[in-house]
Amino acid sequence: MYISKSFIPILKNIPSEAKIKSHQLMLRVGMIKQSSAGIYSWLPLGLKVMKKIEQIVREEQNKIGAQEILMPTIQSSDIWKESGRYEDYGEEMLRIKDRQNREMLYGPTNEELVTDIFRASVKSYKSLPQLLYHIQWKFRDEIRPRFGIMRCREFYMKDAYSFDINDEEALFSYNKFFLSYLKTFKRLDLKAIPMAADTGPIGGNLSHEFIILAETGESKIFTDKRIFEVDSSGSKLEKKSLEDLRSKFEKFYSVTDEKFDKAEFETKVIEKNRLITKGIEVGHIFYFGDKYSKPMDGSVDLPGGKKDFVKMGSYGIGVSRLVGAIIEAKYDAKKEVMKWPISVAPYDISIIPMINKNDKSSLEKANKINLELEKNNIETLIDDTEENFSSKIKKMNLIGIPHQIIIGKQTENDSIEFKEAGEMSQKLKLSEIIKIIKKQKEEN
Ligand code: ATP
Ligand code: MG
């Protein structure tokens, strides 16, 4: 792709309304455009990143046996009246009326709708467990939308729901998601820590938030530093293995402020291991038993002929918020260098030829190299403008493509200037560059 033909509206200056680096960068390189308070359009660069995140989330859901569905954004108020949440949810819910004067709403979450789908079709314990998820826009009329897409009103979320016959099986489902979340965030090159959390309006008694450390985060956290060293590799999708995994983390005190208890913190964590800091919530899982299945009559036949309400959990990941969260974790605002993890980078490599009016030979070389890269499924962005070299590099550093190739008059195929964004360059053969990038992509 030529930069001159791409829709990447780069701004010269940092927009003054943006207070944190992810919001600043996303506006600056034209990833998003605000359309009204807390509501954004996603432009090509932003959408490319978000779609790659979405795909990783999807793959990790599928790996634990969850099945993808797609529920609508607009819901009827009837099911929310059944569960008793219609009044409780308060002003965060956007309520609308259709032309027949029916009360509708833009879904902030989908426990009711998915329970309605479940109860219509599943009648026997033999069909359990069921793990269903969708990736869909949500609307919450947040009182103070801020920080760009980090806390906005319309956002893109993966939400999954589990249905089980009893508590034991339901906890097994919960733990499957626990593992799947650790794997998802790892593939995004993020260190997300599971922390005991409050259940809020979802209800229930068991819950973890997955938090990445960031000064600009809105969650205050209290942890034992050693939780960052827990190794989650080697866990299997078996009850015992997953219980062990959770207890490896739960051994260390780690909570958000709603669950914080000073005395408990100080007894459980010796001073040198205490860490009080801030983080960004990127995922949240809940177990709430029959909180929805009971009022909504989501029951199944049990082996002995009796009936019981299914035990449910729900599991969210902020897919759109993750775009900002990765920037908060990876963008060096001082050097003005962003480097997307290769797994979600909008392009794998940028090609920066030095071009002037009279000499287009380096652009021709760039085109040839591009052809070779494309054959290997390596996606490129070529800066075909006549801007000076340093502003080209600056621009690419902001866009955050992880690798760069620089092409001058002297460039030959067996000695190409190659660098990681923000690092020193080295001379490599094209075949070696291809090998490096392919290897990185395969590792994800
Ligand atoms: P928060 O405490 O940040 O408001 P929440 O507990 O209300 O989040 P959930 O209902 O668990 O969030 O939603 C699942 C995920 O969706 C969250 O972990 C977060 O990543 C994302 N999310 C929630 N609210 C927003 C929002 N207003 N803007 C962007 N992402 C959001
Ligand atoms: Mg919220």
CATH number at residue 392: 3.40.50.800
- Which residue, by CA, sits nearest to atom 1 of ligand 1? 281
Whether residue 119 is found in the same domain as residue 232: yes
- The CA-to-CA distance between both ends of the chain, in Å, stands at 24
Q: How far apart, in whole angstroms, are the C-alpha atoms of residue 84 and residue 294?
A: 11
Whether residue 180 is found in the same domain as residue 81: yes
292-321 burial by CB neighbour count: b if 16+ within 10 A, else e? bbebbebbbeeeeeeeebbbbbbbbbbbbb
Please answer whether residues 323 and 49 qualify as being in contact, where contact means their C-beta atoms are separated by less than 8 angstroms.
yes
Ligand 1, pocket-test mutation among 139, 157, 190, 208, most atoms within 8 A of CB: 157
Give the length of the chain.
Answer: 444
End-of-domain residue from the set 330, 346, 379 = 330
Ligand 1 binding pocket includes 107 (Cβ within 6 Å): no
Q: Which atom of ligand 1 is nearest to the CA of 318?
A: 20
Domain count, the chain: 2
Task: Decide if 109 is inside a domain.
Answer: yes
Ligand 1 binding pocket includes 284 (Cβ within 6 Å): yes
Please answer whether residues 210 and 273 qualify as being in contact, where contact means their C-beta atoms are separated by less than 8 angstroms.
no
Q: How far apart, in whole angstroms, are the C-alpha atoms of residue 114 and residue 79?
A: 10
Instruction: Note if the pTM is more than 0.75.
Output: yes
Ligand 1 binding pocket includes 111 (Cβ within 6 Å): no
End-of-domain residue from the set 296, 330, 364 = 330
Residue type, 366: A
* Distance from chain centroid for Cα 405: 29
Q: How far apart, in whole angstroms, are the C-alpha atoms of residue 189 and residue 129?
A: 31
Ligand 1 binding pocket includes 403 (Cβ within 6 Å): no
pLDDT, residue 408, reads 86
Residues 6+ positions from 62 with CB-CB distance below 8 Å: 68
Q: Specify the DSSP element, H or E, that contains 320.
A: helix 319-330
Ligand 1, pocket-test mutation among 321, 326, 328, most atoms within 8 A of CB: 321
Please answer whether residues 119 and 296 qualify as being in contact, where contact means their C-beta atoms are separated by less than 8 angstroms.
yes
Whole-number Å distance, alpha carbon 376 to ligand 2 midpoint, is 43
Could you report the average pLDDT of every consecutive run of 10 residues in the chain (444 residues)?
96 92 97 97 98 98 98 98 95 97 98 98 97 98 96 98 96 97 97 85 79 91 95 94 95 92 94 96 96 97 94 98 98 95 98 88 94 97 95 96 92 88 93 96 89
Please answer whether residues 66 and 60 qualify as being in contact, where contact means their C-beta atoms are separated by less than 8 angstroms.
no
pLDDT, residue 258, reads 87
Task: Decide if 14 is inside a domain.
Answer: no
Please answer whether residues 142 and 38 qualify as being in contact, where contact means their C-beta atoms are separated by less than 8 angstroms.
yes
Domain span holding position 400: 338-443
Phi, psi (degrees; rounded to nearest 5) at 245? -60, -50
Whether residue 146 is found in the same domain as residue 205: yes
Q: Which atom of ligand 1 is nearest to the CA of 322?
A: 20
